[in-house]
Amino acid sequence: MASQPIFCVGCWQNMKLPIALRTVAALPYRAVGIRQSRMNPNTCTICETMFERVMKARQVEIDATILFADLRGYTSLSQSQSSGAIAKLLDAFYDVCGEAIWENDGIINKTMGDAVMAVFNFPIKHQDHAAHAVAAARKIQELWRVRREELSHAFGVDAATIGVGIGLDTGRVNFGEFGRTHQDLTAIGTVVKRRLARAERRGGRPDSHDRGRS
């Protein structure tokens, strides 16, 4: 795993604010409620909503790459394995996705049972954000090949039955808070719709010919 930055990458890149996330330097910030973001621990709770704090808007339109990853074989395993075993499987899947996505400056915007949705180019910005998403996808596959061998032995199944499917799409999205009574911080737009439509055609799984498979 890559070394973890002491300061929030997003705040420094966008606002030149040295917000400490780690070591004792982070204690004063935690005291006033500024913490690591749950979507990417290398960013903080300020920059993940900077569109509201800085731009005074509930949503912003950005260029982004959306990554969907889903756990193949989950449905059949959930019918044959204990709830504890399935929890272990999901933990491993989320850990692998988190490591790969955060290493490449993306955020995990949603976890949906056996799937995750990640956004690249907010709040950490890169002109080549699509390349970062591709690198994250490849890293997920690389890490999962190792983890699934361990899990297959634990579950007594063929490793090939526990795969990860990945789909990517790039374009304009709206990112921000949606809803009033129940606020949801997420990305919407044609890019997301295309990816979800492909998922629906395969019975709820993200699908694409650009998908990697492990």
Mean pLDDT of the chain: 82
What is the average per-residue pLDDT within 55-74?
A: 82
Q: pLDDT: is 191 or 81 the higher one? A: 81
CATH number of 59-201: 3.30.70.1230
Tokens coding 121: 């180019």
Beta bridge partners of 195: none
What pTM, to 2 d.p., does this model score? Answer: 0.83
pLDDT of residue 43: 94
Exposure on the CB side of residue 118, measured as CA atoms within 13 A: 34
Say how far apart CA 185 and CA 113 lie, in whole Å. Answer: 18
* pLDDT tens sequence across 106-144: 999 888 888 999 999 988 999 999 999 999 999 999 999
Cis peptide before 206 (omega within 30 of 0): no
Give the start-to-end residue ranges of the domains of the chain.
9-53, 59-201
